[in-house]
Amino acid sequence: MRFAIALLILCLPHCLVAVERPNVLFIAADDMNCDLSAFGNGQVLTPNLERLCKMGVRFDRAYCQQPLCGPSRASLMTGLRPDTLDMHTLKHELRQKNPDVVTLGQLFRNNGYFVARAGKIYHYGNPSQIGTDGNDDPATWDERYNPVGIDRSQQENITRYGAGRQKDKNLGISMAWWDPVSRDEEHTDGMVASKIIELIKQKKDRPFFLAAGFYNPHCPYVAPRRYFDKHPLEQVTMPDLEEAERDLADVPPMAVQRDQKNWPYFFKDVTLEQARKCKQAYYACNSFVDAQVGRLIDALQENGLMENTIIVFWSDHGYFLGEKGLWYKRKAFERSARMPLIIAAPGLAGDQVCSKPVELVDLYPTLAQLCGLKPPAGLEGASLRPLLVDPDDPGWTKPAVTQVWHNKRAWGYSLRTDRYRYTEWLEGRAGRELYDHQSDPDEVTNLADRPEQAERVARLSQQLADYVQLQPDKRQ
């Protein structure tokens, strides 16, 4: 009897810790930039993301490790940079190259959490792999769900622009849109939200890590028509192309080599008005995702879980919509490297904005610390908890580093400090870029070759050098 009582006393603190462990709702958007009212763009109303910002911290300078879905998501889910993982393409090779890596979901599974996802967290061909496990990692999850909506099952209704695209069934990179009169739940992302809501209700009495992986606003841009109606086409503006062309005059050719052949807008024969329509559709998809985020927050509230759930909203990278005449991602410019990041953690800062540079690779150590879990050794990010306590923490001085890899003869690294973006192509042999964001937030004027900037360029180059860890077979 005494032994049983003693055992109960010994176990009690651990039981209390287990009960009090916070849940995690991990929400991902695909290819979403910061054209959101939550981040200052009043044209794209995102009331639910604004609501989330009031609950937590909005990170205004958050950057991906590589502006391409596969390596960006693998990096985030492992806390390791693409060079460490040796992953720079869309190939399904996380476990092949890193068999013993402990992913973020594994860490939570190993500590007694229920861990599940619906939709896209690791890379999927979008829309080709919707409804499959794509490049998912089974060891990360207890359960996985792959819904299929009309955006995938009725692709014949999607309007496509650009020479040679009308008969092309691969819409994974396309100027394409569709605005059906439909319910949210007829679309894949509406189904993703519904499944996570179901799991919230089912698992509310035990610690959970639930990941909602939305496919929007990745092309093709498909959302119910009412979200298009929120963005009247006549109110959607496009950058002047003559000015856009001038913006690129002082940029190293390697920085835009994928975009030059059919500039502007990536595909041949895409007109200005067609690009405008795609921009409207992209905005509609952002509003559609915002509505699904609202459904998830409502579900937490309805189930009494708001006080014990950390909510993270992120995208895998940014996106161009005609700025500099460019479209899509895979560029080292701010608009491609920067993406939305919001973290709401009960008991920490609320309704705050952080302007310190942070990285997606920081999310793994952050969630481990907030949930009291011991992470694996060697993580390459840093916990954001200090910034969730004080968004202006003077002790946070770490830059953000984004890399681009096209092939072994075309690659570069970009370093973002509080004020500057500095980029080297082939370690400077193929050119450099330096932008002063205090006076030039749109990165119009490349200062790298100006004599008065030589000292700054040398200093930033030295700072960047520590992050250039590309394997020999991946470099020229």
Task: Give the pLDDT of the chain (476 residues) as one tens digit per residue.
Answer: 333 434 433 343 333 333 479 999 999 999 999 999 999 999 999 999 999 999 999 999 999 999 999 999 999 999 999 999 999 999 999 999 999 999 999 999 999 999 999 999 999 999 999 999 999 999 999 999 999 999 999 999 999 999 756 555 679 999 999 999 999 999 999 999 999 999 999 999 999 999 999 999 999 999 999 999 999 999 999 999 999 999 999 999 999 999 999 999 999 999 999 999 999 999 999 999 999 999 999 999 999 999 999 999 999 999 999 999 999 999 999 999 999 999 999 999 999 999 999 999 999 999 999 999 999 999 999 999 999 999 999 999 999 999 999 999 999 999 999 999 999 999 999 999 999 999 999 999 999 999 999 999 999 999 999 999 999 999 98
Task: Give the pLDDT confidence score for residue 2 in this predicted structure.
Answer: 39
Q: How many CB atoms lie within 10 A of CB 440?
A: 15
For residue 74 the two structure tokens come to 């693998």
Q: Over pLDDT 90: what percentage of the chain? A: 94
CB 211 within 8 A of CB 105: yes
Q: 3-state DSSP call for residue 92? A: coil
d(CA 253, CA 250): 9
> Which residues in 179-326 belong to E strands, given as ranges?
208-217, 221-222, 309-315, 320-321
Residue type, 404: V
Q: What are 146's two structure tokens?
A: 């792959």
**Of 34, 53, 88, 123, which residue is the catalytic one?**
123
Asked if residues 74 and 137 have their Cβ atoms less than 8 Å apart, the reply is no
What tokens does 439 get?
């006076």
Please say if 317 is a catalytic residue: no
Return phi, psi of residue 356, to 5°: -75, 145
Average pLDDT of the chain, as a whole number:
94
Would you tell me how many other CB atoms lie within 10 Å of the CB of residue 185? 15
287-300 pLDDT per residue, tens:
999 999 999 999 99
Q: Which domains does the chain have, with CATH numbers?
A: 21-388 (3.40.720.10), 401-474 (3.30.1120.10)
Structure tokens at 173: 């990179």
Q: List, for residues 117-149, the tens digit of each pLDDT value.
A: 999 999 999 999 999 999 999 999 999 999 999
Query: Environment class of residue 154 by beta-carbon count within 10 Å: exposed (0-12), middle (13-18) or buried (19+)?
Result: middle
Cβ atoms of 220 and 36 closer than 8 Å: no
Annotated catalytic residue, options 69, 219, 278, 285: 69
* pTM over the 0.85 mark: yes
Residue 69's closest CA among 46, 94, 105, 96?
94
DSSP 24: E
Q: Tell which residue, 333, 453, 461, has the closest CA to residue 404.
A: 333
Is 285 an active-site residue?
no
Q: Within 10 A of 133 (CB to CB), how many other CB atoms are there?
A: 14
